[in-house]
Amino acid sequence: MGTAYFMTDEQLKAKNWDMLQEAKTLRGRKASLEYEWGKYAASWSSLARAKDGFTIQFEGKDVVVLNPSQKLCEVERMPQAHFDIEAMKRLRGELEETATALGVIQRQLQDLGVGGNEF
């Protein structure tokens, strides 16, 4: 069976292998970004649970929530960076770009007969 253009069968296999490796890398990157986004969301949820009477302090690079009914016992500690809107925009943008790139390469691999479970 001939291949398109100037590729030998070995070159074609190498290109397909490269696509598969790129898909695996993108999938891992997407998972890491989603994990980080989840940490941001958890911090916002924790801060939202700090109702009336809770004390919020800023210590170094952290936001600390204290419960006055427990003698100002620390109930939450989260990085202030999780409340940086510009950082959140960058993270969200990178997550969306990675997801788009992964979607493109997944469709290309499906055209080659490679299923999602194989990468």
Q: Are 16 and 105 in contact (CB under 8 A)?
A: no
pLDDT in tens, 42-59: 888 888 877 777 888 899
pLDDT in tens, 30-40: 999 999 999 99
Q: What is the overall mean pLDDT for the chain?
A: 86
Token pair 């398109």 is found at: 4
The amino acid that residue 65 corresponds to is: V
Please state the pTM of the whole predicted model: 0.74
Ranges of each domain in the chain: 49-104
The listed range with the strongest mean pLDDT (73-77, 101-105, 113-117) is: 101-105
Check pLDDT > 80 for residue 22: yes
Phi/psi at 4 (5° precision) = -70, 150
Question: For the residues 14-31, what does the mean pLDDT come to?
Answer: 93
